[in-house]
Structure 1
């Protein structure tokens, strides 16, 4: 085998050709080779034989010499393919990651663009730890390029990722810095508002609700004349703050307005997420609005099938579990929780804690209150340590109710 077909060049080019054609490893392997062998070829762990090269070239419909065209696997080419494709799967992310690893640091601007797309794929899939690794380099590159727009966007996205991981202190630090840069350089309304949106979210998560309320009002005023989805996102943020403050009526009003103002054709992903958020809100009010929550979940179903990621599927399943428990269908709630426990959880820190609280409520209902109490104490401390004050209050309240039932079983 000549140098042009040496690994890992051959493996990278093979993977690129397969992804270009939308083929799975099983579809390309066919009946002649195993998917395991093909996977080792693509990873560079096994050298290809002349017979395998000819077979794969025939399956892909290309001459064998195509495998030597490594320049088409450059970062620029891979980025162009992924950007122009609707595919935002793990395989697309892997292709970008491979191209980044092979590209080195010779083009910081191009590298920044590829990393930005990669972080968006990771975020949509709920792969927050992997996203954070990319964001660290993204922030460094933005500072190296000294472009205020990129510096703001990198920090805003880092704040969102940190919040999803439960690190509210860092989330606030990054969002505040992003907002400072945006104002200092008089950036666009979108960049400034997106950074301020991250500030509001971080403050709300950290329990700084008066600051979050003031910034939410500032955000709504900033985007009131904007087109697109910014006013809807601002209303959603303001609704979230009011909900954390206990103003559930005000939160419902803002969220209902956001639902009304956004058409599914404007942004189907946001349209779906708003309905999941509304369902969550309806299940947290007293008494829970189970019928309204059920309706919003039903509305989100079609969109979930079109644009939903594994993360959104898990959010839907968790909400269905909460709904089942509120409706007195404890067995259904337990089954949904057990199904989620079998998966690699992609949920945010807040949603994970709330799901664990639900599991404790189920335990208490089924006659295991002592176990529920121990777990709830741990969850409350965890929420306190992450500065999620309203979440901690929710857990402590559930703990108090469980202890009361334990002390007075007939109540």
Structure 2
């Protein structure tokens, strides 16, 4: 498949039909869209939505001709978007980028593509780029792809959670739920995810219990339609590779048996998502039990969480569980020293910044009699994590503790480096 093939042919055909009818771009665009958008479509720089294409076809009196041209292209683009989404769901970011690039050398005017590109940027920790992509997708979805609105709103809310802006995140999660209900969209998993997130931000708000979320955990896991991790990853990768091979092959065939596997894979991924969602709720319940010093209940929830983690845990959920184990050790086990070491060990497996980990480390320093050199190691790790997350207020408090620790050991150079780092960061915010 040649890059740009999808968008160039439909743009060229609209231009040919317009010139045949002696129309200018302004005449074609009148009361439909801007002349600039018509120019971009004809140049292959924008992809018209189905609704816009219908209006253009009616204006050109060429509904049948454009339907014939776009039928194969719509199928190709739709399949490409679906494959890219599956690639991202399975962590295959490079493959997702390759598939999206086949949609044209310029980014098409399709909300789903910008949404997927936002997810790629978020995966690569390019949060500002992800934010811009999601907002572009949001603008396009409002006009042409309303079914995507809840997913996009939820993703923007997730970014605000990463930046510790819980008020905005909660607003966006509530709006996600409202839009889903207002548009009467079937968003079972998404709405349940939002309910769990809202319950963590607003402890007094309990998640709504949908028919699916009321399913007994043990029964749901037993009925899960895919093998346990890591067998599922191998199985899913094989199916995805088959679909990618069919996508890359010439001539393209939307009827290929390889593409028919995608619906099967998507259903299994949905089931996996339900387990992952249940895991979030289980971890939250286990943490609450530990904080309430209920040993028996916390052990029950942690056993269930470990089982769910093996089936469908994401890397972030693995980190959350590791921190949960550290909290358990602090409360019921061998004490804070083991908890701290277990938490520091997580940096080797999960180097990405995570707010909860930094919070644990600082709290232990403030509440427990931790001495050097462990105290300095803990505070440095927390400070770097907060700096990555741009949590300036938390950085300032942690730096005070760290400077106090460094002064006790006469580490003058380290103090100067720390102060210089704070000043550099302060100049950027």
> Which residue of 117, 120, 123 corresponds with 1:158?
120
- Is this contact kept in 1: 2:163–2:391, CA < 8 A? yes
> Which residue of 266, 269, 274 corresponds with 2:272?
269
Shift of 1:197: 0.6
Aligned length: 273
Structure with bigger gyration radius: 2
Shift of 1:182: 1.4
- Is this contact kept in 2: 1:193–1:219, CA < 8 A? yes
- Is this contact kept in 2: 1:290–1:326, CA < 8 A? yes
Structure 2 distance, partners of 1:344, 1:378, is: 14
Structure 1 distance, partners of 2:397, 2:288, is: 14
What residue number does 1:234 align with?
194
What residue number does 2:132 align with?
173
Shift of 1:290: 4.9
Shift of 1:321: 1.7
Q: TM-score, normalised by structure 1?
A: 0.51
Shift in alpha-carbon separation, 1:379–1:207, aligned structure 2, 3 A: same
Shift in alpha-carbon separation, 1:380–1:248, aligned structure 2, 3 A: farther
Specify every segment of 5 or more residues in structure 2 that has no aligned partner in the other structure, as ranges.
1-75, 225-269, 408-429
> Which residues in structure 2 correspond to 1:9-408 (within 5 Å)?
114-122=83-91, 131=93, 133-134=94-95, 136-137=97-98, 139-142=100-103, 144=106, 146=108, 148-158=110-120, 160-162=122-124, 165=125, 167-188=126-147, 191-224=148-181, 225-227=184-186, 228-240=188-200, 243=201, 247-250=202-205, 253-254=206-207, 257=209, 261-263=213-215, 264=217, 265=220, 268-278=271-281, 281=284, 288-291=291-294, 293-308=298-313, 312-327=317-332, 329-330=334-335, 332-334=338-340, 336-337=342-343, 340=346, 344-345=349-350, 349-350=353-354, 354-355=356-357, 358=360, 365=368, 367-369=370-372, 371-373=374-376, 375-376=378-379, 379-380=382-383, 382-388=385-391, 393=394
What residue number does 2:72 align with?
none
What residue number does 2:235 align with?
none
Shift of 1:177: 2.0
Q: TM-score, normalised by structure 2?
A: 0.49
In the TM superposition, what whole-angstrom CA distance separates every residue of 1:304-334 from its partner, at most 9, and x where no partner exists? Answer: 3333466644542332122222335325535
Name the Cα RMSD after superposition. 4.5
Specify every segment of 5 or more residues in structure 1 that has no aligned partner in the other structure, as ranges.
1-106, 124-130
- Is this contact kept in 2: 1:279–1:296, CA < 8 A? yes
